[in-house]
Amino acid sequence: MKKILVFMMALMVLVANVACAAQTPASESQKEVQQTEPEAQTDDTAEEDEIVIGLAMINHTSPSFVGILEGADEAAADYGCKNIWKSCEGNLDTQIDIVRGFIQQKVDVIMIDSVDVNGLVDVVNEATDAGIDVLGIGSPIPGKANYNATYPNKDDDTFIARFLGNLYKDEQDATIGLIIGTIGNNVSDSRQQAFEATMKNEFPQFNIVTGLGAWDPTTSMTAAADIINANNNIIHMHVIQDGMANGAIKAVQQSGKDITMTSENGDPEGIENVINGNYLMNNLTGNARIGYWFEAICYYIAKGQEMDTTQLLHTYRIMSEEYQQMAKDWEINYNDAGEELDMVTPEEAQKIASAYKQEFGPDVWIPTLTN
């Protein structure tokens, strides 16, 4: 009797999983989800021409990742692609298995948000040898012939550090808090390194205290609260991602101290916080925007478009006109290569963040090729 009950329960779970997978792409982890786009499949020829992209994500829990997925799905519809999503829930071995699964499925392109870029090199090279192109997103994968799409984290966080350093240059014996994601994540590491190095080299008078936010608002709030309580001379808190900043800002507000904040990503609430003065500035990448951009790159890779193997996202510093002028006066609106960095008002950022189809859509954009 017990065995029959167990068998029936297992069957029910299987049926539920299949039902959920058919309806809600992001509802279960480690589960294959097929994104169907009936509008793009008008006849058998269209289906054969459809580009199939395998997406190996880290997880489905973070709202940031969900935003990326939504943008990519929109791009899939516009570009006539078909997405197969899988999440490894932060496990490297699982991600390797997922990539191998995509190789066996003979997808056209594999998009990977790496748990560990070095740990994935072998399997990425396997995919390349099997004739399948790979795009590493966010964190560049050092494979032999894959593509990478990443953000100019060094330029972005160097700018933020220089902005703060100049803004508070008259402060003596001050502490600046920095909330990062996780150690070993390339995006977190590169933003942290750029911020800390700039502060150390150009503004050594500031004490930088770093806390782990673990990409979730609860941990970020705790980390921010501890930093604030441990450092009575804290004047500013920088958080490398809006999702975490949503928690850190509560710690700042509840402390009752005069502490300013900055953040990155340019999520809708992050831009709102610049408008209402809670943040001095933000940095626009945009979750749906980058998801759309990744998908568009995959399309052109599959089509054999000539392009740079490393694609760099164009980012925007979100700040008031007053702060933009100050940045120009301090001459910090250029990166170390002498290229001008774009600065926009929050209202302009809102338009850019939502106009990603016009920015990266079919027939209006192609990946960069420098030579």
Q: Which of 26, 77, 174, 326 binds another protein (CB under 8 A)?
A: 26
Compare residues 125 and 210 and give the one whose CB is closer to another protein: 210
Q: State residue 115 phi and psi, 5-degree precision.
A: -75, -40
Calpha distance 349→282 (Å, rounded): 10
Instruction: Give least dist CB 107 to another protein, A.
Output: 24
Amino acid at 246: N
Binding mask 256-285 toward another protein (x if CB under 8 A, else -) reads -------------x----------------
Chain Cα centroid distance, residue 61: 14
Instruction: Give least dist CB 25 to another protein, A.
Output: 10
Compare residues 4 and 337 and give the one whose CB is closer to another protein: 4
Binding mask 45-74 toward another protein (x if CB under 8 A, else -) reads ---------------xxxx-xxx-xx----
Tokens of 279: 């943040």
Sheet of strand 310-312: strand arrangement: 33-34, 81-87, 51-57, 109-112, 133-138, 147-150, 310-312
Q: Which of 27, 105, 201, 205 binds another protein (CB under 8 A)?
A: 27
Question: Is residue 85 close enough to count as binding another protein by CB under 8 A?
Answer: no
Compare residues 109 and 245 and give the one whose CB is closer to another protein: 245
320 contact partners, CB below 8 Å, separation of at least 6 = 274, 345, 346
Burial of 22 (0-12, 13-18, 19+ CB in 10 A): exposed
DSSP secondary structure letter of residue 100: H
- Using left for φ > 0, alpha for ψ between -120 and 50, and beta otherwise, residue 6 falls in alpha
Instruction: Give least dist CB 225 to another protein, A.
Output: 5
Question: Is residue 36 close enough to count as binding another protein by CB under 8 A?
Answer: no
Tokens of 156: 């972005």
Binding mask 229-258 toward another protein (x if CB under 8 A, else -) reads xxxx----------x--xx--x---xx---
DSSP secondary structure letter of residue 265: B
Of 53, 236, 217, 228, the closest CA to residue 134 belongs to 53
Binding mask 92-131 toward another protein (x if CB under 8 A, else -) reads ----------------------------------------
Calpha distance 198→201 (Å, rounded): 5
Residue pair 343/181 in contact by the 8 Å Cβ criterion: no
Question: Is residue 286 close enough to count as binding another protein by CB under 8 A?
Answer: no
Q: Which of 102, 203, 215, 323 binds another protein (CB under 8 A)?
A: 215
Question: Is residue 180 close enough to count as binding another protein by CB under 8 A?
Answer: yes
Count residues contacting another protein (CB under 8 A)?
48
Calpha distance 64→11 (Å, rounded): 33
Tokens of 152: 């100019």
Compare residues 6 and 355 and give the one whose CB is closer to another protein: 6
Q: State residue 48 phi and psi, 5-degree precision.
A: -65, -35
Q: Which of 11, 18, 22, 24 binds another protein (CB under 8 A)?
A: 24
Residues that bind another protein (CB under 8 A): 2, 5-6, 9, 20, 24, 26-29, 60-63, 65-67, 69-70, 180, 183, 209-212, 214-219, 221-223, 225-227, 229-232, 243, 246-247, 250, 254-255, 269
